[in-house]
Amino acid sequence: MAEKKQAFHGSDLEKIEEIYGIKKENIIPFGGNVNPLGISPLLKKSMGNHIEAICEYPDRDYKTLRSTLSMYCNTPMKHIIVGNGATELISLTLNLLRPKNAILLSPTYSEYMREISLVGGSYQEYFLSEENDFRLDLEDLKAHLTDDVDLFAFCNPNNPTSSALTTKEIHNLLKHCKKHHIFVLIDETYVEFAPDVQTVTAVSLVNEFDDFMILRGTSKFFASPGLRLGYGICGSLAFLEKLNAVKNPWTINTLAALAGEAMFMDTDYIKQTKDYISKERERCLTKLKKCSKLKVYPAYANFILVRLLDGTTSFEMFERCIKEGFMIRDCSSFEGLDGEYIRFCIRLQEENTKLLDILTV
């Protein structure tokens, strides 16, 4: 086993292969947060005949893709921008905003911090409290969102805590931020996995508020991290215009655009995924809650955050699991979650059962 303590990202399968000598194909990726049911059958069927599409440039405005997204999200197409994964849109948005004093709801996904630092901006982290099961104290946060703050960014449901703000709370926050001229960035990469999407998504607020941006991707829910397709929804058409002006043309290739047009329409697959994740997440939570060595937090995303209470470190648990071919996420690299937190996503039932057996012994 490895001599040096190291925290791996969910996609670091090649590194694991190298360090632990386990073949990539034999690793069950519990750290990747990807839908275990695989890609949409409608997408599979429609893509087979479309290879010739690469002979053409994509439509610069991606009208068909954006119109499909407009139906999927139930929001006007003029408010939608598409990008090369949520990652391109995180980068573009933060590049444009160049925040001098951002507040991030933490612990959270590291990409926002990396991008803010890259553009020479600065941020502070507002930490969700573990004692409160990582639920937000809205009034306390609002007291920190003052006139000198220029951006508030959060992930909803949040990676890695799996906690979420409700649409009602977001509405309250947006009203507050509008008063203080604070732009709000919401990463909804995991929102479709929430038990009731309509009670956590901010999409319905796009008509009411200008200065906020919702970002989503297809990597997780639609099991397609290799496709690199994401999208943003923004109330301000002026902000979208600025984004489009700095965005490189054609960053979504013709095949990815066609893939999006198929997968967002696959209502059976979408429903099947939601039902499966909800049921299996509940089953896993129930089993984990019975184990006195673990503390489990409420989960809105397709992953569960667990605190190890018996002195086992997150790295020791990571190694225990990887020896069996199960790659969970050691959360020690997340600021504020040192040493005793792990995260794992919902996989196929049989795989989950085996992982739970290891975690709960």
Ligand X SMILES: Cc1ncc(COP(=O)(O)O)c(C=O)c1O
Of the pair 110, 172, the CB lying nearest ligand X is at: 110
Position of minimal CB gap to ligand X: 217
Shortest Å, Cβ 311 to ligand X:
29
Q: How far is the CB of 10 from ligand X (least distance, A)?
A: 7
Amino acid (one-letter) located at 230:
G
Q: Is the CB of 118 or the CB of 143 nearer to ligand X?
A: 118
CA dist., res. 274 & res. 194, Å (int): 8
Beta bridge partners, 184, equal 152, 212
**In this complex, which beta carbon is closest to ligand X, that of residue 75 or of residue 159?**
159
Cβ of residue 89: shortest distance to ligand X, in angstroms?
A: 8
- Looking at beta carbons only, is 159 or 332 nearer to ligand X? 159
- State the Cα–Cα distance between residues 124 and 115, nearest whole angstrom: 14
- Angle, helices 267-289 vs 349-360, to 10°: value is 20
Distance CA 198, CA 193 (A): 11
Least distance to ligand X from the beta carbon of 346, Å?
15
Which amino acid is residue 299, in one-letter code? A
Closest to ligand X by CB, 176 vs 306, is: 306
Decide if 215 contacts 86 (C-beta within 8 A).
Answer: yes
The set of residues, in sequence order, having a beta carbon less than 8 Å from that of 158 and lying 6+ positions away, is 105, 108, 128, 134, 164, 301
User: Which residues contribute to the site for ligand X (CB under 6 A)?
Assistant: 85-87, 109, 155, 159, 187, 189, 217, 219, 225, 230
Least CB distance to ligand X at residue 256 (A): 11
CA separation for the pair 11, 16 (Å, rounded): 10
